[in-house]
Amino acid sequence: MTQPIKVQSFWMPLLALSGLTLFAYFASPVLVPLVSALFFAFLLSPLIDLLRRLKLPHALAVTIVMLFFLVAFVLALWWGTTQVAELVQNAPQYQQALVKALTELSARLPASVSNHLPFLKDPQGWVPAFTPEQVAKILQFASRGIGSAASFLGSAFLIYFLTFFMLLVKDSVQRRLTYFFGQENRATTAGILQKINRSLSGFLVAKTVLSMGVGIVLTIGFVSMQIPLPFLWGPLAAVLNWVPYLGSLVALILTAGATLAAYGPTWHLPVLVAFFLVVQTLEGNVIGPKILETKIDLNPMAVLVSAIFWAWIWGFAGALLAIPITAAFKVVCDHVEALQPFGILLAGKKQE
């Protein structure tokens, strides 16, 4: 006779997770900068460790890395602002050209196909003009969780200084955390912290390098194909590459729209789509898995669901942070008996 399943063993953790979800949603103005800074600290830790191996004092190593980070951020912010300003300035021309190109494309398609794509017959109603109001709405979604009271720039510098102080006191905090859960759990707590540090630092560094590589290759391709604003779409694709599955799709749609607006339904569009798919397929199915599978152990469904979940909770920032948060949560689940069922659900091939 089949034994009934006892739910008492995990209904309390499930209830606790539900409470944490509500807390994460309502406390997003505080948690998003805090969590963002935490993961920037994980990302920059290998550079600091490298400088310390060169016999530099810890405080000096942190200062050098953070100054470099500040310069990189200011340059990226300046570059992104100029590119978005150019897009907004030329938005009416792009919209008119895109509407015209979509209308021509609909006219060229067979009736049996165009009848199943009614949105192509009236593109004027849904093609965005990227007016200042529409851009503001997009930025409002992208910055959800950063906080309505603080500006983007203020939140960015808050994250910067949080990261700076986290790196300064990282070793001390880790030592103190080993005492937080009791003397008898010091070894287990130290093991969890070490595994989280190793997994997340390795993953964040590898993912950053891969995303930068994708952005550089795509930008070179866009320039060679003379796509409008190639230095906007290429770096944007690199950023969106952090969002599992959906980010690449959004980047492709935006770049295809720019191509269609510039050249109409010509050979440029299929060449762009083919080039984009080849790059993303190589990164997502060949190069990326070989590099990242040793860093984190998450199954594809868990990655997709976590991206959707955290995007709902924290907007675009949540989508970017989804994989690191879920990877850290899984490490904790693997070492806490009451949470182990959730760790099994999230596990990839290593635990099959």
Quick: pLDDT tens for 130-188.
Answer: 666 666 666 655 555 444 434 667 778 888 999 999 888 887 777 777 776 666 667 77
DSSP 8-state symbol, 57:
-
Amino acid at 315: G
Structure tokens of 319?
A: 């989508």
Does residue 94 fall inside a structural domain?
yes
Does residue 211 fall inside a structural domain?
no
Does residue 9 fall inside a structural domain?
no
Average pLDDT over residues 32-50: 89
Q: How far is CA 270 from CA 9, 54, 164, 256, 277, in A?
A: 54, 50, 46, 9, 10
Per-residue pLDDT band for 61 (boundaries 50, 70, 90) equals very high
Contact in structure between 271 and 111 (CB atoms under 8 Å): no
Does residue 75 fall inside a structural domain?
yes
Does residue 145 fall inside a structural domain?
yes
| DSSP per-residue letters across 142-181 | HTTTT-SSS-HHHHHHHHHHHHHHHHHTHHHHHHHHHHHT
Structure tokens of 212?
A: 């930068």
Q: What number of CA atoms fall less than 13 Å from residue 128's CA on the CB side?
A: 15
CB-count exposure of residue 156 (10 Å: 0-12, 13-18, 19+):
middle
* pLDDT single digits (tens) 183-220: 666 777 777 777 777 777 888 888 889 999 999 999 99
Q: What is the residue-averaged pLDDT of the chain? A: 79
Model pLDDT, residue 182: 65
Does residue 332 fall inside a structural domain?
no
DSSP 8-state symbol, 265:
S
Query: What percent of the residues of the chain are helix, what percent strand, and what percent coil, each to the nearest 5?
Result: 80, 0, 20
Model pLDDT, residue 133: 64
Burial 68-88 (b: 16+ CB within 10 A, else e): ebeeeeeeeeeeeeebbeebb
Q: pTM of the prediction?
A: 0.79
Model pLDDT, residue 113: 64
User: Based on the structure, what is the number of domains in the chain?
Assistant: 1
Contact in structure between 127 and 98 (CB atoms under 8 Å): yes
Structure tokens of 93?
A: 């021309």
Q: Supply the range of the domain harboring residue 54.
A: 29-168
Instruction: Give residue for tokens 């949470």.
Output: 339
Instruction: Give residue for tokens 């992208």.
Output: 142
Does residue 17 fall inside a structural domain?
no
Instruction: Give residue for tokens 């938005």.
Output: 91
| DSSP per-residue letters across 173-222 | HHHHHHHHT-GGGHHHHHHHHHHHHHHHHHHHHHHHHHHHHHHHHHHHHH
Does residue 210 fall inside a structural domain?
no
